[in-house]
Chain A
Amino acid sequence: MTMSAGYGDTQQHDGPGSFWTRYVWSQDHKVIAIQYSLTAIFVGLVALVLSALMRLQLGFPGQFSFIDSTHYLQFVTMHGMIMVVYLLTALLLGGFGNYLIPLMVGARDMVFPFLNMLSYWTYLLSVLVLLASFFVPGGPTGAGWTLYPPQAILPGTPGSEAGILLMLISLAIFIVAFTMGGLNYVCTVLQARTRGMTLMRMPLTVWGIFVATILGLLAFPALLVSAVMMFLDKTVGTSFFMPVIISLGEQLDYGGGSPILFQHLFWFFGHPEVYIVALPAFGIVSDILATHARKNIFGYRMMVWAIVAIGGLSFVVWAHHMYVSGMNPYFGFFFATTTLIIAVPTALKVYNWVLTLWQGNIHLTVPMLFAIGFIFTFVHGGLTGLFLGNVVVDLPLSDTYFVVGHFHMVMGVSPVMVLFAAIYHWFPKVSGKLLHDGLGKLHFWGTFIGTYLVFLPMHYLGFLGVPRRYYAMAGTDFIPASAQSLNSSITVAALVVALMQLLFIANLIISLRWGKAASANPWHATTLEWQTPQTPPAHGNFGPQLPTVYRWAYDYSVPGARDDFIPQHLPDSAVAVDDAQAYAKAGK
């Protein structure tokens, strides 16, 4: 049993002295988490603006002269890549992973603080390289976020010179940053847990981040391999992915490569990436639901097993993204089957979340609203995923708005719902201030209803045959004119949702400046991060003595106990009991 009780106690507890070492070149996991989060939110806002520009063109084609077809494709590409990699992955793992892992497992910091700091600055470099592509001749790449060759590096595709190269370089740098951070997360979980914190006493948030990090360490190399090979195809003229091509009557120097090989590599990364984002979200939502329903999570062990099973299965489903590329029919059958199998542990988690709510003492706080909202959006996105996992259904729907609706519900809106839930939930611990409740609820309802108005109609557009990625419709008489009205209404809803996010930013700023002071444990939660002597936690997190853990993370509403929560670090002898018999009967 690896139980490095007090590993962190060998570390220096004194905080850094100067402003620069405290806030800029900081090695404190909490500061690094905030640096990661702010950078990710900033770049996410850039992607949000890009999506608004795309929607303006789609809703009101030709009305905005500054959005031409080149820009449109660049907006699509950069929006997708930024949201998936530079926002969601970075915020969930770099932001929440950094902040929560040491606090939740009872450690003073990550096990390699210097590497952790290096991880953030490398991530920032990757973001800057990516954003630099907006300012180079030809602009950023417009190859679509999947960057499929050969078109991604050939003239005719926007940004096929400097833009695509900067994208590939940025991704490679990001992967280096992720590897440094990821090694820290897994080692901290495995080596720096406090005394009594067994693996099965860890909160599900930590489990989700832990397994997602392992997925990342094993899946991101596939993206690195494809980025390196495509970079060489573009710069020195190798033909890893480039087949024989005749362009404008002339044969190019390329020949013999396989574009399909790139697709395999990309999706070998791309599908686990879905779960790199989803698993931390699953963990976080489990903890928020239990805390705000004042009830233990239903089926904790099954939830852990499901996280591990989903992580393993996520490596054997990648080719369901490639049905339209053509493959051996047996492969199609195999990948359709594995795709349906992965739905089993996923569905199990959904049932357990609902059963956690069942007969709970539900507090409809803002984090809880977002967590419940997530269950809705995730179920909708997940069910349409079952459609698309089947070859015969996927083929006609693959390049339509049905897919856009599906993946935005399951991989866009759902994790973002959890991100908001998490920010509202942990903001009091991070800042020492409470977020404004009214503004938060307005933000929730605007976002929840708004995103449904955006993405639900897209499924219908897909059934009508509206293709994705198109700048403008032409020669599509089979699509009724009413589809355009629907597109316009989607754009209006999307703009409202975008404005709602400004409300959220305003809430953050207002609450930081003028918000009510938060108590150490405003949600009456059981996990260790709420038991720190200072709020926000000081350097070293837990004062002179690390906590000892006596119980799991979900002792809510225990029969006989006076309070409706028992913190993990409280021994039985310190628990206030009103009805000793009921308490004993509950197995406590």
Chain B
Amino acid sequence: MSIFSKLTEKPWLAQPEGQDPALQLTADEAWPERTALKFLLATISVLFSLFVITLLGRSQLPDFQVLAGEPWLPLSDRSGLWLSTGLLCGSSLMMQLAQWFSRQHLAKAVLGALTAAVALILLFLFAQYRVWLQLANAGFGFTDTAASNYFYLLTALHGVHLLGGVIAVLPVFLQLDKQSGQTLPRTLTLCCWYWHYLLLLWLLLFWLLTSPAQTLNTLAALCGFGEATL
């Protein structure tokens, strides 16, 4: 039943005894964790959207200089970022494999894939740290330019969310042998959602933070930023 059908019900009308449609409904299997994750991802999306919108707004102020687009700018060489992107893709793939193995009841394979997923996340964070060092050595430390403010802030926040995912998945490791045949695939399905979501988020951030000024100007114009709004 669609949300519109639900909202147009007339609850004040009595239903004949034994024919109440509300009592005839087959109950969906409850999965509150899935619902919670959907809302959590919506909340995180709003959080990052707002950061991105402030970046677009800030990019229209006169002192803003992008970090890429010209050969002398630090992120014109994106090899470090491509490496970390590869690691994150690998982590997502491993998490997907763990979920698939759990459906096949391959406990050892699940453990291996999960371990690899977590290890790749930690490697990703290390790779991001290397990019930070590279930026700082090039004279683009956290507080040096407006664009680097955003680079460090957004990558750090993304990293914090990844670490949150790692912490959330730790109990799965600890209870791997205790989880029933049905529980584990469901848990790992949610882990997959979260992992893939953070990968997509990273791809978006990667694109934005290494975009040339013209791209940011176009996006800012689409969001209605101009001198009158800031």
Q: Which segment, of A130-138, A448-456, A516-524, A545-553, faces chain B?
A: A545-553
From residue 3 to 34 of chain B, which have CB atoms closer than 8 A to chain A? 6-15, 17, 20, 22-23, 25, 27-28, 30-32
A571-B149 in contact (CB<8A): no
With A232-B153, A261-B57, A328-B228 in contact, do A200 and B7 touch (Cβ < 8 Å)? yes
The 28 sampled A-B contact pairs (Cβ below 8 Å) are: A1-B6, A3-B22, A3-B27, A4-B32, A7-B32, A111-B36, A112-B36, A186-B39, A187-B35, A192-B30, A196-B22, A200-B11, A214-B39, A221-B43, A225-B47, A228-B153, A236-B142, A238-B142, A238-B143, A258-B61, A265-B50, A300-B12, A301-B8, A326-B228, A548-B23, A549-B22, A572-B14, A587-B13
Q: Does B64 contact A (CB under 8 A)?
A: yes
B1-A1 in contact (CB<8A): yes
A260-B230 in contact (CB<8A): yes
Instruction: Chain A residues near B179: list those with CB within 8 A.
Output: none
Q: Does B222 contact A (CB under 8 A)?
A: no
Interface size of A by CB at 8 A reads 72
A residues engaging B (CB < 8 A)?
1-7, 111-112, 179, 182-184, 186-188, 190-192, 195-201, 214, 217-218, 220-222, 224-225, 228-229, 232, 236-240, 255-258, 260-261, 264-265, 268, 296, 300-301, 304-305, 308, 326-328, 331, 548-552, 554, 571-573, 587-588
Contact of A265 among B25, B54, B230 (CB under 8 A): B54
B27-A4 in contact (CB<8A): yes
Q: Does B40 contact A (CB under 8 A)?
A: yes
B14-A587 in contact (CB<8A): yes
Residue of A200, A296, A304 contacting most chain B CB atoms (<10 Å): A200
Instruction: Chain B residues near A186: list those with CB within 8 A.
Output: 35-36, 39
Q: Does B51 contact A (CB under 8 A)?
A: yes
Chain A residue nearest to B64 (CB atoms) is A256
B197 to chain A, nearest CB (A): 15
Docked complex Cα distance between A163 and B179 (Å) = 47
Instruction: Chain A residues near B44: list those with CB within 8 A.
Output: 221
B110 to chain A, nearest CB (A): 25
Q: Does B138 contact A (CB under 8 A)?
A: no
B54-A256 in contact (CB<8A): no
Chain B residue nearest to A182 (CB atoms) is B39
Instruction: Chain A residues near B42: list those with CB within 8 A.
Output: 217-218
With A198-B11, A238-B143, A301-B10 in contact, do A258 and B230 touch (Cβ < 8 Å)? yes
Contact of A217 among B25, B43, B64, B230 (CB under 8 A): B43
B39-A217 in contact (CB<8A): yes
B11-A179 in contact (CB<8A): no
B12-A554 in contact (CB<8A): yes
Contact of A296 among B12, B17, B27 (CB under 8 A): B12
Docked complex Cα distance between A201 and B63 (Å) = 56
With A258-B230, A268-B50 in contact, do A2 and B28 touch (Cβ < 8 Å)? yes
